[in-house]
Amino acid sequence: MTGRVVLGTDSVPSLPRHIKLRWDKRREKWVIQAPEKVMFPDEIAVEILNKCDGAATLGEIVAALAAEYDEKPEDIAADVTEMLQDLADKGYVTA
């Protein structure tokens, strides 16, 4: 059994191979597809997950989002980390 993944600024989040973030043409919305499960992330979650490419660190993702939305990184870091940590705890994100 593996331990809990705890995300930090230097973590490099990505979706595991069995989890897919895809545009569903029929529903006209983004979906997260997992074995026997489908989730419907909101627009903010989609923006964050699209940046989880396995190359960018959590700090870089926060910085990119802050620049994109004209926010201070420290104002959004906790929310981004909390969302990704919740998904990591459920197995939808690895680091």
Whether residue 7 lies inside any domain: the answer is no
Contact between 73 and 62 (Cβ < 8 Å): yes
pLDDT category at 2 given cuts 50, 70, 90 is: low
Residue 52 belongs to domain with CATH number: 1.10.10.1150
**What is the tally of structural domains in the chain?**
1
Residue type, 80: V
Q: Which CA distances in Å does 40 have to 60, 64, 67, 71?
A: 25, 23, 26, 25
Distance of alpha carbon 16 from alpha carbon 37, whole angstroms: 14
Cβ contact 53:5 at 8 Å: no
pTM to 2 decimals? 0.90
For residue 24, being part of any structural domain is answered with: yes
pLDDT band at residue 78 using 50, 70 and 90 as cut-offs: very high
Per-residue model confidence (pLDDT) at position 3: 76
pLDDT at 1 over 90: no
Please check whether residue 6 lies inside any domain of the structure: no
pLDDT tens column, 9-66: 999 999 999 999 999 999 999 999 999 999 999 999 999 999 999 999 999 999 999 9
Which residues span the domain enclosing 47?
20-89
In a domain, 31, yes or no: yes
